[in-house]
Amino acid sequence: MDFNELAREYGTPLYVYDFDYITNRYNMLKDAFSARKSLICYAVKANSNLSVLKLLASLGAGFDCVSIGEVRRALLAGAKKYQIILSGVGKRDDELEEALKSDILMINLESEAEMYRLEDITKKLNLKARISIRVNPDVDAKTHPYISTGLNENKFGVDINTAKKMYIHAKNSAALEPVGVHFHIGSQLTNIEPIIEAAGIVSELMRELKALEIDIKFFDVGGGIGIIYQNETDISLYDYAQGILAKLGGQDVTIVCEPGRFIVGNAGYFLTSVLYEKFNKQKRFIIVDGAMNDLIRPSLYGAYHGISVVGKNTSAGACDVVGPICESGDFFAKNLNLPACESGDIIVIKSAGAYGFSMSSNYNSRARAAEVAVQDKAHRLIRKRENFEDIIALEKEFI
Ligand SMILES: *Cc1c(COP(=O)(O)O)cnc(C)c1O
Protein backbone atom coordinates (compact mmCIF):
# COMPACT_ATOMS: atom_id res chain seq x y z
CA MET A 1 0.00 0.00 0.00
CA ASP A 2 1.38 3.41 -0.94
CA PHE A 3 0.72 5.32 2.27
CA ASN A 4 2.34 8.52 1.01
CA GLU A 5 0.07 8.59 -1.99
CA LEU A 6 -3.02 7.92 0.12
CA ALA A 7 -2.04 10.67 2.57
CA ARG A 8 -1.40 13.09 -0.29
CA GLU A 9 -4.70 12.31 -1.97
CA TYR A 10 -7.01 12.24 1.06
CA GLY A 11 -5.11 14.19 3.72
CA THR A 12 -4.39 13.17 7.30
CA PRO A 13 -5.40 12.01 9.83
CA LEU A 14 -6.81 9.18 7.75
CA TYR A 15 -8.12 5.67 8.24
CA VAL A 16 -7.32 3.16 5.49
CA TYR A 17 -8.94 -0.28 5.34
CA ASP A 18 -7.76 -3.20 3.23
CA PHE A 19 -11.02 -4.71 1.96
CA ASP A 20 -9.25 -7.74 0.47
CA TYR A 21 -7.90 -8.56 3.93
CA ILE A 22 -11.40 -8.25 5.42
CA THR A 23 -12.75 -10.62 2.77
CA ASN A 24 -10.00 -13.09 3.50
CA ARG A 25 -10.56 -13.02 7.26
CA TYR A 26 -14.30 -13.53 6.89
CA ASN A 27 -13.72 -16.51 4.62
CA MET A 28 -11.13 -18.04 6.99
CA LEU A 29 -13.62 -18.09 9.83
CA LYS A 30 -16.51 -19.28 7.70
CA ASP A 31 -14.31 -22.13 6.45
CA ALA A 32 -13.31 -23.11 10.00
CA PHE A 33 -16.96 -23.96 10.70
CA SER A 34 -17.65 -25.48 7.29
CA ALA A 35 -18.50 -28.87 8.78
CA ARG A 36 -21.62 -27.40 10.38
CA LYS A 37 -24.36 -24.86 9.79
CA SER A 38 -22.87 -21.57 10.83
CA LEU A 39 -23.62 -17.89 10.76
CA ILE A 40 -20.79 -15.39 11.13
CA CYS A 41 -22.37 -12.28 12.62
CA TYR A 42 -19.86 -9.46 12.33
CA ALA A 43 -19.82 -7.26 15.47
CA VAL A 44 -20.76 -3.91 13.99
CA LYS A 45 -19.31 -1.87 16.86
CA ALA A 46 -15.75 -2.80 15.87
CA ASN A 47 -16.02 -0.80 12.65
CA SER A 48 -19.43 0.40 11.59
CA ASN A 49 -18.61 2.13 8.32
CA LEU A 50 -21.43 1.38 5.87
CA SER A 51 -19.03 0.30 3.15
CA VAL A 52 -17.39 -2.19 5.50
CA LEU A 53 -20.83 -3.55 6.40
CA LYS A 54 -21.82 -3.71 2.74
CA LEU A 55 -18.71 -5.68 1.88
CA LEU A 56 -19.43 -8.18 4.67
CA ALA A 57 -23.13 -8.43 3.75
CA SER A 58 -22.10 -9.23 0.18
CA LEU A 59 -19.97 -12.09 1.51
CA GLY A 60 -22.99 -13.51 3.35
CA ALA A 61 -22.21 -12.27 6.84
CA GLY A 62 -24.83 -11.61 9.46
CA PHE A 63 -24.50 -8.78 11.97
CA ASP A 64 -24.30 -8.53 15.73
CA CYS A 65 -25.68 -5.17 16.79
CA VAL A 66 -25.71 -3.45 20.18
CA SER A 67 -28.05 -0.56 19.43
CA ILE A 68 -30.89 0.12 17.06
CA GLY A 69 -28.55 2.49 15.25
CA GLU A 70 -26.33 -0.47 14.39
CA VAL A 71 -29.36 -2.48 13.25
CA ARG A 72 -30.30 0.38 10.94
CA ARG A 73 -26.75 0.55 9.62
CA ALA A 74 -26.75 -3.18 8.89
CA LEU A 75 -30.09 -3.01 7.07
CA LEU A 76 -28.94 0.04 5.09
CA ALA A 77 -25.82 -1.83 4.05
CA GLY A 78 -27.89 -4.66 2.62
CA ALA A 79 -27.98 -7.14 5.50
CA LYS A 80 -30.77 -9.68 5.52
CA LYS A 81 -33.11 -9.15 8.46
CA TYR A 82 -32.94 -12.83 9.41
CA GLN A 83 -29.18 -12.50 9.87
CA ILE A 84 -29.28 -9.68 12.41
CA ILE A 85 -29.00 -10.06 16.19
CA LEU A 86 -29.61 -7.29 18.72
CA SER A 87 -27.60 -7.58 21.93
CA GLY A 88 -26.70 -5.13 24.70
CA VAL A 89 -27.17 -4.85 28.48
CA GLY A 90 -29.56 -1.93 28.29
CA LYS A 91 -32.00 -1.67 25.42
CA ARG A 92 -34.60 1.09 25.41
CA ASP A 93 -38.29 0.39 24.73
CA ASP A 94 -38.13 2.11 21.35
CA GLU A 95 -35.15 -0.07 20.41
CA LEU A 96 -36.95 -3.28 21.37
CA GLU A 97 -40.04 -2.14 19.51
CA GLU A 98 -38.17 -1.28 16.33
CA ALA A 99 -36.20 -4.54 16.48
CA LEU A 100 -39.48 -6.48 16.74
CA LYS A 101 -41.05 -4.63 13.84
CA SER A 102 -37.89 -5.11 11.77
CA ASP A 103 -38.33 -8.86 12.28
CA ILE A 104 -34.63 -9.51 12.90
CA LEU A 105 -33.32 -13.00 13.68
CA MET A 106 -33.34 -12.66 17.47
CA ILE A 107 -33.11 -10.31 20.40
CA ASN A 108 -30.45 -11.31 22.87
CA LEU A 109 -31.69 -10.78 26.43
CA GLU A 110 -29.32 -9.82 29.23
CA SER A 111 -31.63 -9.73 32.28
CA GLU A 112 -34.95 -11.00 33.62
CA ALA A 113 -36.28 -7.47 33.79
CA GLU A 114 -35.53 -7.03 30.12
CA MET A 115 -37.38 -10.23 29.28
CA TYR A 116 -40.57 -9.02 31.02
CA ARG A 117 -40.25 -5.65 29.32
CA LEU A 118 -39.86 -7.29 25.91
CA GLU A 119 -42.80 -9.58 26.62
CA ASP A 120 -45.05 -6.59 27.39
CA ILE A 121 -43.97 -4.71 24.30
CA THR A 122 -44.37 -7.79 22.09
CA LYS A 123 -47.90 -8.43 23.38
CA LYS A 124 -48.85 -4.81 22.82
CA LEU A 125 -47.70 -5.10 19.21
CA ASN A 126 -49.35 -8.47 18.77
CA LEU A 127 -46.11 -10.04 17.61
CA LYS A 128 -43.89 -12.87 18.69
CA ALA A 129 -40.29 -12.25 19.75
CA ARG A 130 -37.52 -14.66 18.88
CA ILE A 131 -35.08 -14.48 21.76
CA SER A 132 -31.77 -15.76 22.93
CA ILE A 133 -30.35 -15.34 26.40
CA ARG A 134 -26.86 -14.20 27.17
CA VAL A 135 -25.43 -16.56 29.74
CA ASN A 136 -22.55 -15.52 31.90
CA PRO A 137 -20.62 -18.77 32.35
CA ASP A 138 -18.34 -17.31 35.05
CA VAL A 139 -15.06 -18.21 33.36
CA ASP A 140 -12.01 -15.99 33.42
CA ALA A 141 -11.09 -14.88 29.90
CA LYS A 142 -7.66 -13.69 31.14
CA THR A 143 -7.69 -10.56 29.06
CA HIS A 144 -7.64 -6.84 29.94
CA PRO A 145 -10.20 -6.18 32.75
CA TYR A 146 -11.97 -3.53 30.62
CA ILE A 147 -12.65 -6.10 27.89
CA SER A 148 -13.31 -9.12 30.08
CA THR A 149 -17.03 -9.85 30.29
CA GLY A 150 -17.54 -13.46 31.37
CA LEU A 151 -17.18 -13.28 35.14
CA ASN A 152 -20.06 -12.88 37.58
CA GLU A 153 -18.60 -9.54 38.66
CA ASN A 154 -19.27 -8.17 35.15
CA LYS A 155 -22.53 -6.47 34.19
CA PHE A 156 -23.17 -8.77 31.23
CA GLY A 157 -25.65 -11.63 30.88
CA VAL A 158 -27.29 -13.79 33.55
CA ASP A 159 -26.05 -16.81 35.49
CA ILE A 160 -26.98 -20.33 34.42
CA ASN A 161 -29.80 -20.78 36.92
CA THR A 162 -31.43 -17.48 36.06
CA ALA A 163 -31.12 -18.37 32.38
CA LYS A 164 -32.91 -21.67 32.98
CA LYS A 165 -35.73 -19.89 34.76
CA MET A 166 -35.99 -17.39 31.93
CA TYR A 167 -36.11 -20.09 29.24
CA ILE A 168 -38.94 -21.85 31.06
CA HIS A 169 -40.86 -18.60 31.34
CA ALA A 170 -40.25 -17.81 27.66
CA LYS A 171 -41.39 -21.25 26.54
CA ASN A 172 -44.68 -20.77 28.36
CA SER A 173 -45.20 -17.25 27.05
CA ALA A 174 -47.31 -16.68 23.95
CA ALA A 175 -45.16 -13.67 23.08
CA LEU A 176 -41.69 -15.19 23.36
CA GLU A 177 -39.98 -17.88 21.35
CA PRO A 178 -36.62 -19.01 22.73
CA VAL A 179 -34.39 -19.88 19.77
CA GLY A 180 -30.86 -19.10 20.88
CA VAL A 181 -28.31 -19.23 23.64
CA HIS A 182 -25.39 -16.83 23.79
CA PHE A 183 -22.17 -16.14 25.62
CA HIS A 184 -19.32 -13.72 25.03
CA ILE A 185 -16.61 -13.80 27.66
CA GLY A 186 -14.28 -11.06 26.52
CA SER A 187 -12.27 -9.52 23.75
CA GLN A 188 -8.75 -9.95 22.38
CA LEU A 189 -8.55 -13.56 23.63
CA THR A 190 -5.33 -15.22 22.56
CA ASN A 191 -5.98 -18.40 24.48
CA ILE A 192 -8.98 -20.44 23.39
CA GLU A 193 -9.27 -22.49 26.59
CA PRO A 194 -11.73 -20.11 28.30
CA ILE A 195 -13.99 -20.04 25.21
CA ILE A 196 -13.99 -23.83 24.97
CA GLU A 197 -14.69 -24.09 28.69
CA ALA A 198 -17.60 -21.66 28.36
CA ALA A 199 -18.89 -23.57 25.32
CA GLY A 200 -18.93 -26.72 27.45
CA ILE A 201 -20.93 -25.06 30.23
CA VAL A 202 -23.45 -23.51 27.86
CA SER A 203 -23.72 -26.67 25.76
CA GLU A 204 -24.67 -28.55 28.92
CA LEU A 205 -27.37 -25.96 29.61
CA MET A 206 -28.70 -26.53 26.10
CA ARG A 207 -28.90 -30.26 26.77
CA GLU A 208 -30.91 -29.63 29.95
CA LEU A 209 -33.23 -27.31 28.08
CA LYS A 210 -33.79 -29.95 25.43
CA ALA A 211 -35.04 -32.29 28.17
CA LEU A 212 -37.58 -29.57 29.01
CA GLU A 213 -38.62 -29.50 25.36
CA ILE A 214 -36.96 -26.15 24.82
CA ASP A 215 -35.26 -26.63 21.49
CA ILE A 216 -32.42 -24.17 20.95
CA LYS A 217 -31.47 -23.63 17.30
CA PHE A 218 -28.66 -21.09 17.56
CA PHE A 219 -25.57 -21.64 19.68
CA ASP A 220 -23.87 -18.26 19.80
CA VAL A 221 -20.27 -18.37 20.99
CA GLY A 222 -19.76 -14.60 20.88
CA GLY A 223 -16.69 -12.88 19.49
CA GLY A 224 -13.41 -12.10 21.15
CA ILE A 225 -10.91 -13.91 18.92
CA GLY A 226 -7.64 -12.08 19.50
CA ILE A 227 -5.30 -10.71 16.85
CA ILE A 228 -1.62 -9.90 16.68
CA TYR A 229 -0.82 -6.34 17.71
CA GLN A 230 2.75 -6.98 18.85
CA ASN A 231 3.98 -10.42 19.87
CA GLU A 232 0.76 -12.27 20.70
CA THR A 233 0.33 -15.75 19.28
CA ASP A 234 -2.48 -16.23 16.81
CA ILE A 235 -5.09 -18.70 17.91
CA SER A 236 -5.66 -21.65 15.64
CA LEU A 237 -9.10 -21.32 14.04
CA TYR A 238 -9.09 -25.07 13.51
CA ASP A 239 -8.61 -25.72 17.24
CA TYR A 240 -11.14 -23.03 18.08
CA ALA A 241 -13.85 -24.47 15.84
CA GLN A 242 -13.06 -28.09 16.67
CA GLY A 243 -13.01 -27.31 20.39
CA ILE A 244 -16.48 -25.80 20.20
CA LEU A 245 -17.84 -28.61 18.03
CA ALA A 246 -16.49 -31.20 20.44
CA LYS A 247 -18.32 -29.56 23.35
CA LEU A 248 -21.55 -29.59 21.36
CA GLY A 249 -21.41 -33.31 20.90
CA GLY A 250 -24.08 -34.32 18.44
CA GLN A 251 -26.45 -31.41 19.17
CA ASP A 252 -27.86 -30.15 15.90
CA VAL A 253 -27.61 -26.38 16.06
CA THR A 254 -26.43 -23.49 13.93
CA ILE A 255 -23.20 -22.11 15.35
CA VAL A 256 -23.21 -18.35 15.53
CA CYS A 257 -19.95 -16.50 15.98
CA GLU A 258 -19.62 -12.73 16.46
CA PRO A 259 -16.13 -11.63 15.49
CA GLY A 260 -15.30 -7.93 15.33
CA ARG A 261 -11.60 -7.37 15.85
CA PHE A 262 -10.65 -10.63 14.12
CA ILE A 263 -12.25 -9.48 10.86
CA VAL A 264 -11.22 -5.83 10.71
CA GLY A 265 -8.45 -5.20 13.26
CA ASN A 266 -5.40 -5.80 11.12
CA ALA A 267 -7.16 -4.56 7.98
CA GLY A 268 -6.87 -0.98 9.23
CA TYR A 269 -4.11 1.62 9.21
CA PHE A 270 -4.28 5.02 10.77
CA LEU A 271 -2.18 7.58 8.91
CA THR A 272 -1.09 10.73 10.65
CA SER A 273 1.38 13.46 9.68
CA VAL A 274 4.29 14.64 11.79
CA LEU A 275 3.83 18.24 12.89
CA TYR A 276 7.02 18.67 14.92
CA GLU A 277 9.72 16.90 16.78
CA LYS A 278 10.23 18.32 20.24
CA PHE A 279 12.85 17.78 22.93
CA ASN A 280 12.23 18.35 26.65
CA LYS A 281 15.57 17.85 28.37
CA GLN A 282 16.42 14.27 27.35
CA LYS A 283 13.02 13.27 26.13
CA ARG A 284 11.99 13.23 22.48
CA PHE A 285 8.39 13.71 21.37
CA ILE A 286 6.98 13.28 17.91
CA ILE A 287 3.88 15.45 17.72
CA VAL A 288 1.41 14.32 15.08
CA ASP A 289 -1.88 15.64 13.67
CA GLY A 290 -3.90 12.60 14.85
CA ALA A 291 -4.93 12.25 18.47
CA MET A 292 -6.77 10.22 21.08
CA ASN A 293 -10.09 11.46 19.71
CA ASP A 294 -9.23 9.52 16.52
CA LEU A 295 -7.78 6.38 18.08
CA ILE A 296 -8.30 6.02 21.81
CA ARG A 297 -7.05 2.47 22.41
CA PRO A 298 -3.56 3.43 23.65
CA SER A 299 -5.06 5.98 26.08
CA LEU A 300 -7.95 3.76 27.18
CA TYR A 301 -6.31 0.36 27.52
CA GLY A 302 -2.63 1.13 27.24
CA ALA A 303 -2.95 -0.80 23.99
CA TYR A 304 0.07 -1.37 21.78
CA HIS A 305 -0.04 -0.47 18.09
CA GLY A 306 2.85 -1.03 15.71
CA ILE A 307 4.12 2.29 14.38
CA SER A 308 6.43 3.16 11.51
CA VAL A 309 7.55 6.23 9.61
CA VAL A 310 7.01 5.89 5.86
CA GLY A 311 10.30 5.74 4.00
CA LYS A 312 12.53 5.84 7.10
CA ASN A 313 14.09 2.92 8.93
CA THR A 314 17.07 4.05 10.97
CA SER A 315 16.14 4.58 14.59
CA ALA A 316 17.13 7.84 16.25
CA GLY A 317 16.30 6.41 19.69
CA ALA A 318 13.28 6.35 21.93
CA CYS A 319 10.44 8.82 21.73
CA ASP A 320 6.78 9.29 22.60
CA VAL A 321 4.34 9.71 19.74
CA VAL A 322 1.73 12.18 20.92
CA GLY A 323 -1.25 14.11 19.60
CA PRO A 324 -2.24 17.77 20.05
CA ILE A 325 -5.01 17.16 22.62
CA CYS A 326 -4.81 18.75 26.05
CA GLU A 327 -4.44 15.49 27.98
CA SER A 328 -1.30 13.69 29.09
CA GLY A 329 -3.10 10.52 28.07
CA ASP A 330 -3.07 11.65 24.45
CA PHE A 331 -0.40 9.35 23.07
CA PHE A 332 -0.04 6.56 20.51
CA ALA A 333 3.20 5.12 21.84
CA LYS A 334 5.67 5.64 24.65
CA ASN A 335 9.41 4.99 24.59
CA LEU A 336 9.34 3.65 21.08
CA ASN A 337 12.42 3.66 18.87
CA LEU A 338 11.68 5.65 15.75
CA PRO A 339 13.70 7.48 13.08
CA ALA A 340 14.30 11.21 13.23
CA CYS A 341 11.22 12.89 11.78
CA GLU A 342 10.52 16.04 9.89
CA SER A 343 7.33 17.95 9.56
CA GLY A 344 5.18 16.26 6.90
CA ASP A 345 6.52 12.74 7.38
CA ILE A 346 3.73 10.16 7.35
CA ILE A 347 3.39 7.90 10.36
CA VAL A 348 1.49 4.64 10.01
CA ILE A 349 -0.27 3.24 13.06
CA LYS A 350 -1.09 -0.40 12.44
CA SER A 351 -3.89 -2.71 13.57
CA ALA A 352 -6.27 0.25 13.67
CA GLY A 353 -9.25 -1.26 11.86
CA ALA A 354 -11.17 -2.31 14.99
CA TYR A 355 -12.31 0.07 17.73
CA GLY A 356 -10.51 2.89 15.96
CA PHE A 357 -12.85 5.16 14.05
CA SER A 358 -15.89 3.63 15.75
CA MET A 359 -14.64 4.92 19.12
CA SER A 360 -13.63 8.32 17.79
CA SER A 361 -15.10 11.60 18.99
CA ASN A 362 -14.99 15.34 18.44
CA TYR A 363 -13.09 16.02 21.65
CA ASN A 364 -11.26 19.35 21.47
CA SER A 365 -13.61 20.23 18.57
CA ARG A 366 -11.50 18.14 16.27
CA ALA A 367 -13.16 17.00 13.06
CA ARG A 368 -13.13 13.24 12.67
CA ALA A 369 -10.82 11.63 10.14
CA ALA A 370 -11.75 10.51 6.65
CA GLU A 371 -11.94 6.79 5.83
CA VAL A 372 -10.66 5.10 2.69
CA ALA A 373 -11.08 1.58 1.30
CA VAL A 374 -8.38 -0.19 -0.68
CA GLN A 375 -9.66 -3.06 -2.80
CA ASP A 376 -8.18 -4.77 -5.86
CA LYS A 377 -5.31 -2.22 -5.76
CA ALA A 378 -7.76 0.68 -6.16
CA HIS A 379 -8.70 3.12 -3.43
CA ARG A 380 -11.84 5.11 -2.74
CA LEU A 381 -13.25 7.41 -0.09
CA ILE A 382 -15.85 5.74 2.13
CA ARG A 383 -16.36 8.56 4.64
CA LYS A 384 -15.64 12.21 4.12
CA ARG A 385 -13.47 14.11 6.51
CA GLU A 386 -15.69 16.07 8.88
CA ASN A 387 -15.51 19.84 8.82
CA PHE A 388 -16.28 22.53 11.36
CA GLU A 389 -19.85 22.85 10.08
CA ASP A 390 -20.46 19.16 10.78
CA ILE A 391 -19.23 19.56 14.34
CA ILE A 392 -21.54 22.47 15.20
CA ALA A 393 -24.52 21.46 13.06
CA LEU A 394 -26.79 20.46 15.95
CA GLU A 395 -25.99 23.47 18.12
CA LYS A 396 -25.81 26.54 15.97
CA GLU A 397 -29.56 27.15 15.67
CA PHE A 398 -29.72 27.69 19.45
CA ILE A 399 -27.24 30.53 19.87
C1 LIG B 1 -17.79 -6.60 21.54
C2 LIG B 1 -18.58 -7.83 21.28
C3 LIG B 1 -18.24 -8.69 20.23
C4 LIG B 1 -17.02 -8.49 19.37
O5 LIG B 1 -15.85 -8.59 20.10
P6 LIG B 1 -14.44 -8.74 19.33
O7 LIG B 1 -13.48 -8.87 20.43
O8 LIG B 1 -14.24 -7.51 18.53
O9 LIG B 1 -14.52 -9.95 18.48
C10 LIG B 1 -19.05 -9.77 20.00
N11 LIG B 1 -20.16 -10.00 20.76
C12 LIG B 1 -20.51 -9.19 21.78
C13 LIG B 1 -21.72 -9.50 22.56
C14 LIG B 1 -19.73 -8.07 22.08
O15 LIG B 1 -20.08 -7.29 23.10
Q: Please state the atom number of ligand 1 nearest to the C-alpha of residue 225.
A: 9
Q: Cα separation of 74 and 363, whole Å?
A: 27
327 labelled ligand-binding: yes
The tens digit of pLDDT for each residue in 122-170 reads 999 999 999 999 999 988 776 666 666 666 667 788 999 999 999 999 9
Per-residue confidence (pLDDT) for residue 139, from 0 to 100: 86
User: Counting Cβ atoms within 10 Å, is residue 206 exposed (0-12), middle (13-18) or buried (19+)?
Assistant: buried
Mutate to test the pocket of ligand 1, among 63, 64, 358 (most ligand atoms within 8 A of CB): 64
Residues in a beta bridge with 304: none
73 labelled ligand-binding: no
Ligand 1 center from residue 329 Cα (angstroms): 25
- Preceding peptide of 339 cis, ω within 30°: no
Ligand 1 center from residue 64 Cα (angstroms): 8
Q: Please state the atom number of ligand 1 nearest to the C-alpha of residue 262.
A: 9
Q: Do strands 106-109 and 84-86 pair parallel, antiparallel, or not at all (unpaired)?
A: parallel
CATH numbers and ranges of domains, the chain: 3-14+266-387 (2.40.37.10), 48-259 (3.20.20.10)
Q: Which residues are catalytic?
A: 326
Q: Give every CB contact of residue 283 below 8 A, 6+ residues apart in sequence.
A: 319, 320
Q: Return the sign of the alpha-carbon dihedral for residues 367, 373, 377, 379.
A: negative
Cβ(299)–Cβ(292) below 8 Å: yes
Task: Give the SS3 label for residue 29.
Answer: helix
Ligand 1 center from residue 276 Cα (angstroms): 37
Instruction: Give this prediction's pTM.
Output: 0.96
Residues in contact with ligand 1 by the CB-under-6-Å rule are 43, 45-46, 64, 87, 184, 187-188, 222-225, 258-262, 354
21 labelled ligand-binding: no
Per-residue confidence (pLDDT) for residue 150, from 0 to 100: 60
Q: Please state the atom number of ligand 1 nearest to the C-alpha of residue 189.
A: 7
Ligand 1 center from residue 394 Cα (angstroms): 31
Per-residue confidence (pLDDT) for residue 282, from 0 to 100: 84
The tens digit of pLDDT for each residue in 251-292 reads 999 999 999 999 999 999 999 999 999 999 889 999 999 999
Nearest CA to ligand 1 atom 10: 223
297 labelled ligand-binding: yes
User: Counting Cβ atoms within 10 Å, is residue 275 exposed (0-12), middle (13-18) or buried (19+)?
Assistant: middle
